[in-house]
Amino acid sequence: MSNTALLLDSVFERHDPGPGHPESVARYKAISKVLKEGDYPQKCKTVKLRKATDSEILGCHTAKYLDTVRSDISEGKDELSTGDTSLCKESLEVASLATGSILESIDLVFKGHSKNAFCAVRPPGHHASADRGMGFCIFNHIAVAARYAQSKFGVDRVAIIDWDVHHGNGTQDIFYKDQSVFFFSTHQSPWYPGTGAINERGDGKGEGMTMNRPLPSGSGFKEIGPCFREEFTETMKKFKPDLILVSAGFDSRVGDPLGHFTLTDAQFIELTKILLDIAHEHCEGRLISMLEGGYNVDGLASAVKGHLAQLIKA
């Protein structure tokens, strides 16, 4: 068994938002270059590509929204009609491959072929809600992954961690009334998309299943570390997750053009260690992380390399 499964494929370079867009193809090329230079694909089990089925996508998104995505792309629109997400003719196929291949990584982990996984995908997903894409996102990969694990493998409790500098509003919305999914986010505030206040804690049966830690511009590991090491770790002792999913947005790294946090590569490794410790304590090491933001191209690639290296060591 290889410790870590890796999803890395040039197909994710085919979603092209256009010149000058921060969620650029260059992001993926930089990640691929650094990981291949370090022989990381050889150190990991390969996650096979597959498209998500309509029924899998509809586990978290409405049929009307899926139809909107299809019609927008077939009509040649260069932006999703629900929000600030650029499109090209291949965006639907690439987004579907991103979601579906992440589900393939869940299969590998639950069937015992790997302990954990990192999925380098684009476009990102955590801003997409049930009926709306926005913030560069089309489908909410991590939400679909949680539902898939529950339906296929009988998982009772999923913990989703989002360390992107932007709040994962779509993920929060989808699970806001759900007692089986715990959503934890550290993010810059005030900042896009304007959600994620500390008093947003869930609703109905899901009350208490959302934990937001909004932090001011300039925050770094001094502020973020205790949220993970103390608050979240203690909370997970009560929740006892069967699976940990990570929205790994590296725009919380120092020097990112779309955020003002100051995390370093070494500190992302520390956060990864904390989450791996939780995974080992509660769910036999089952942790799957997936790429979200990160727009300083070289910094993104460097942070991803450190994160993946730590997963392999687990």
> Is 21 known to be catalytic?
no
Identify whether the C-beta of residue 99 lies closer than 8 Å to the C-beta of residue 52: yes
Rg (CA), the chain: 17
Structure tokens belonging to residue 276: 């791996």
Q: Mind giving me the DSSP string for the chain?
A: -EEEEEE--GGGG-----TT-SS-HHHHHHHHHHHHHTTHHHHSEEPPP-PPPHHHHTTTS-HHHHHHHHHHHHTT-SB-TTSS-B--TTHHHHHHHHHHHHHHHHHHHHTTSEEEEEE--SS--TT-BTTB--TT-SS-HHHHHHHHHHHHH----EEEEE-SSS--HHHHHHHTT-TTEEEEEEEESS-TT----TT----GGGTT-EEEEEE-TT--HHHHHHIIIIIIHHHHHHH--SEEEEEE-GGGBTT-TT----B-HHHHHHHHHHHHHHHHHHSTT-EEEEE----SHHHHHHHHHHHHHHHHH-
Identify whether the C-beta of residue 313 lies closer than 8 Å to the C-beta of residue 43: no
Q: Which amino acid is at 66?
A: L
Q: Which of 61, 127, 167, 187 is catalytic?
A: 127
Q: Could you give the residue numbers annotated as active site?
A: 127
